[in-house]
Copies of this chain bind each other. A is one copy, B any other.
Amino acid sequence: MSDLQALPEKTVERLSEYRRTLLRCQKQGITHIFSHVLAGLHGLTAVQVRRDLMLIGFSSDTKKGYDVSVLAEFIGEILDTPQPMNIGVIGMGHLGQAITKYFNSKGLNLRIVAAFDVDENKVGSIIDDIPCFSMDELAAKVEELEINIVILSCPTRVATDVVLPIVNAGIKGVLNFTSKPLNFPLGIVVENYDITTLLEKVAYFVKEQERTDI
């Protein structure tokens, strides 16, 4: 696979979604699925689905559709690392706990192994089966627990304060849930993921819909 270029961001997102749908199909005993069915479940065109799968070099038996298990596994080889990737959560408030609970309940290749917080009541305790450490322990625990990625679920007002500790700890990827877009040095993958943006986007298109309905 090492001759492949990195895939487009949106293709990676869709592959992740296809796989979850395929795994659900598998559970329901569905063995094959046509590209237009898979497309329909995601609100996409069949051409889009076929193009995404072409990009990862997957071709299917068109008579019966895609083999669900084979395709799920094929996507897994593209997306997953050979070893599960370890994740740390910075900020174990409501959002951090919601995310941790959510991931703990899934059999993903990504696993949350540690939380970090400044709250003395949380540091040293186990929350949702995850040990909670102080921010001072970040670098040491990142090394010890082989953490590659952190989820940033701390309050927005302290978001910039954690950038340097994250960089110094050798973190490779950041999923930022605060309202502040953060810049990290080249080589660190950042996904800024603000809930407000999405909600304002839905609100805007609802408004547009109402305007054009008149």
Say yes or no: A181 contacts B98, CB within 8 Å: no
Say yes or no: A196 contacts B149, CB within 8 Å: no
Asked if A145 lies at the interface with its beta carbon under 8 angstroms from chain B, I say no
What 0/1 pattern do residues 191 to 211 of A give for CB contact below 8 A with B?
101111111111111111111
- A164-210 with Cβ < 8 A to chain B: 172-175, 179-181, 183, 187, 189-191, 193-210
Asked if A43 lies at the interface with its beta carbon under 8 angstroms from chain B, I say yes
A195's contact among B80, B102, B187, B212, by CB below 8 Å, is which? B102
Say yes or no: B174 contacts A202, CB within 8 Å: yes
Asked if A85 lies at the interface with its beta carbon under 8 angstroms from chain B, I say yes
Given A2-B211, A196-B106, verify A81-B203 contact (CB < 8 Å).
Answer: yes
- A33-82 with Cβ < 8 A to chain B: 40-43, 78-81
In the complex formed, the residue of B with least CB distance to A81 is: B207
Given A187-B209, A195-B99, verify A17-B181 contact (CB < 8 Å).
Answer: yes
Asked if A95 lies at the interface with its beta carbon under 8 angstroms from chain B, I say yes
Asked if A26 lies at the interface with its beta carbon under 8 angstroms from chain B, I say no
Number of identical protomers: 2
Say yes or no: B205 contacts A189, CB within 8 Å: yes
Say yes or no: B148 contacts A206, CB within 8 Å: yes
- A114-157 with Cβ < 8 A to chain B: 148-149, 151
What 0/1 pattern do residues 6 to 39 of A give for CB contact below 8 A with B?
1101001100110011001000000000000000
Say yes or no: B201 contacts A12, CB within 8 Å: yes
Contacts of A7 in B (CB 8 A): 204
Say yes or no: A191 contacts B181, CB within 8 Å: no
- Chain A interface residues (CB < 8 Å from chain B): 2, 6-7, 9, 12-13, 16-17, 20-21, 24, 40-43, 78-81, 85, 87, 93-95, 97-99, 101-103, 106, 108-110, 148-149, 151, 172-175, 179-181, 183, 187, 189-191, 193-213
**In the complex, the 7 A-B pairs of residues with the closest C-beta atoms, listed nearest first:** A94-B98, A173-B206, A16-B200, A95-B98, A173-B202, A189-B205, A6-B208
